[in-house]
Amino acid sequence: MNRPPQDLYAEFEDRLRFEMLLTELSAHFVSVTSESIDREIVEAQRRIVQALDLDRSTLAQVEGGERFVMTHTWHLPGLKPFPVFAVKDLPWMSSAMMRGEMVCFARIDDLPAEPIERVRVVVGRYRAAMLNHRDGGRLVAGTFTGTGNTFRVAEVIVDALLKAGYSEQEAARLCWALVYFTLGLTQEQQTSPPDADAAGVDFAEASYPALAKVGVQLLVHDSFDARFDYGLARLLNVA
């Protein structure tokens, strides 16, 4: 299914602005001197953070294969500097980063007390974490990251489902169903071509009577947010 045209145009414009920023920064760094390189890197980080509406940008290097040392950073006022951490403290994240892979985190703090609502919020944050990175859904799919943040997110989901009255088997399988649903929808949203045009889609009643009855608006132009909210509610048996 294609996403709504207004979403496509907005994303295309955002991508274009960001790619123009990267082109400008790349051209600028050609003439940067060794005396000003550190200052220019931090300035570039500031512009990228503000362009992408992020909290911070941090560059680090591995020293002796044992710890990450921050070399350049820019963050919004009021935030604490990113701490130095040892490779052994975060083994999965460290190895993934050193392989050049993307690492996504979903916040699992400040969650509602009601179990089902807690699941809805953490799964929504999981989706948002992937959407915040280009191809985030594709990169996360097909990998098993059985440590750290992955287990913490799964712990919150399964614990909430158990407290909501689900059996151990139901909680485990529903946890997987929620993850697969979110991954699949995120990949579909992120891989739809930016110039896709569904305006010409038409369901002939003679060939597709059921699709014609439902209509193009719901089947093609319905937003991914609406599809996600509905699918999540159905999986959790929430009206």
Question: pLDDT category, 39, cuts 50, 70, 90?
Answer: very high
**Which among 188, 129, 118 has a CA at the least distance from the CA of 156?**
118
State the pLDDT at residue 153.
80
Q: How far apart are CA 101 and CA 85, in angstroms?
A: 18
For 158-168, what is each residue's pLDDT tens digit?
999 999 999 99
Q: Looking at residue 6, what is its pLDDT?
A: 54
Residue 59 pairs with which residues in a beta bridge?
A: 72
Percent of the chain with pLDDT over 70: 72
Residue 117 host element (H or E): helix 115-131
Domains, the chain, with CATH or none: 5-91 (no CATH), 115-235 (1.10.357.10)
Q: What is the pLDDT of residues 139-154, one digit of tens each?
A: 666 555 444 456 778 8
Handedness of CA 212, 5, 15, 104 (dihedral sign): negative
Q: How far apart are CA 239 and CA 230, in angstroms?
A: 9
> How many Å apart are CA 159 and CA 129, to the nearest integer?
21
Q: Show the CA angle centred on residue 119, arms to residues 117 and 124, nearest 5°.
A: 95
Residue 149's nearest CA partner among 184, 99, 102 is: 102
Specify the range with the lowest mean pLDDT, choosing from 82-86, 136-140, 194-198.
Answer: 194-198
Tell which wins on pLDDT, 73 or 212.
Answer: 73
Query: For the residues 114-139, what does the mean pLDDT come to?
Result: 81
